[in-house]
A and B are shown apart, each in its own frame.
Chain A
Amino acid sequence: NAGVTQTPKFQVLKTGQSMTLQCAQDMNHNSMYWYRQDPGMGLRLIYYSASEGTTDKGEVPNGYNVSRLNKREFSLRLESAAPSQTSVYFCATGRDNLGLGSYNEQFFGPGTRLTVL
Chain B
Amino acid sequence: QKEVEQNSGPLSVPEGAIASLNCTYSDRVSQSFFWYRQYSGKSPELIMSIYSNGDKEDGRFTAQLNKASQYVSLLIRDSQPSDSATYLCAVRGSNYKLTFGKGTLLTVNP
A positions within 8 Å CB-CB of B: 31, 33, 40-45, 48, 50, 58, 90, 94, 96, 98, 101-111
Contacts and interface: CB of A to CB of B under 8 A. Distances in A.
Interface residues of B, number: 20
Contact of A105 (B42, B43, B46): B46
A107 B103 CA distance: 17
Contacts of B92: 104
Interface in B38-54: 42-46, 49, 51
A41 B102 contact: yes
A43 B49 contact: no
Question: SS class of chain B's interface: helix, strand, loop or mixed?
Answer: strand
Interface stretch (B10-18, B70-78, B93-101): B93-101
Contacts, number: 51
Contact of B98 (A40, A106, A110, A111): A106
What are the 4 tightest A-B residue pairs by CB atom distance, in nearest-first order? Answer: A42-B102, A43-B100, A103-B49, A108-B43
A108 B36 CA distance: 10
A110 B43 contact: yes
B87 interface: no
Contacts of A105: 34, 46, 49
Contact of A94 (B36, B43, B45, B96): B96
